[in-house]
């Protein structure tokens, strides 16, 4: 087979099985973790269209997920409020793999070990499609934000702001 073949990730297989349209888009990865802005630059897309997946722990509900534009930071107070918590914090990186099954830089809201409450920033609805991690470093999924929200049972909410 050719070298341009892209191996499907678990996230891609789950979307395919559900009949959801998506596209796998590769990008180059080095030894250093790439920021969303660097990924967006490689994709030739605005950084606000490339979303990052963050996992938080609330003081009342436990783990939940926020999917925010690459040029935003999660607003911990807003995220706590929309998720039914008084307080929420990002989980330590060392907990990411055991909790989600994904590593930093390759965390997708699709196909985590468990289904967690998920909140996608409202700005995703400004685009026909957005980019999220496909579950590995070096591969993004282009997907409709409504299809993504429907598949993971997400709510659109103001969970982030520009730093």
Report the CATH number that the domain containing residue 54 is assigned in CATH: 3.90.960.10
Residue 5 lies in a domain: no
Look at residue 3 and tell me if it is in a domain. no
Which ranges constitute the DSSP H helices of the chain? Answer: 10-17, 36-43, 76-82, 93-100, 145-152
In contact, 47 and 70? CB cutoff 8 Å: yes
Question: Within a domain: residue 69?
Answer: yes
End-to-end CA distance of the chain: 44
Domain-embedded: residue 2: no
83 touches 109 (CB < 8 A): no
pLDDT digits (tens, 9 = 90+) for 7-48: 789 999 999 999 999 999 998 887 676 788 888 888 899 999
CA distance 26 to 123: 23
Instruction: Indicate the number of domains in the chain.
Output: 1
Q: Given this model, what pLDDT does residue 45 score?
A: 92
Q: How many helices (H) and strands (E) does the chain have?
A: 5, 10
Mean pLDDT across the chain, nearest whole number? 92
129: domain range? 10-161
| Per-residue pLDDT, 119 | 98
Query: pLDDT per residue over 97-129, tens digit each?
Result: 999 999 988 999 999 999 999 999 999 999 999
**Cα distance between residue 36 and residue 123, in whole Å:** 16
The model's pTM? 0.93
Q: What is the pLDDT of residues 39-79, one digit of tens each?
A: 888 889 999 999 999 999 999 999 999 999 999 999 999 99
């Amino acid at each position: 087979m050719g070298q341009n073949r892209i191996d499907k990730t678990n996230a891609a297989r789950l979307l395919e099985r559900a009949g959801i349209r998506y596209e796998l888009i590769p990008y180059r990865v080095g030894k250093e973790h790439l920021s969303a802005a660097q990924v967006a630059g490689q994709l030739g897309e605005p950084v606000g269209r490339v979303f990052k997946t963050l996992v938080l722990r609330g003081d009342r509900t436990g783990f939940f997920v926020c999917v925010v534009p690459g040029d935003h930071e999660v607003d911990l107070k807003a995220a706590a409020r929309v998720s039914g918590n008084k307080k929420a914090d990002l989980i330590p990186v060392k907990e990411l793999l055991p909790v989600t099954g994904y590593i930093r830089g390759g965390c997708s809201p699709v196909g985590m070990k468990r289904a967690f409450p998920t909140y996608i920033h409202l700005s995703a609805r400004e685009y026909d499609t957005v980019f999220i991690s496909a579950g590995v470093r070096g591969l993004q999924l282009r997907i409709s934000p409504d299809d993504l929200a429907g598949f993971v049972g997400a709510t659109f909410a103001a969970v982030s702001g520009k730093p």
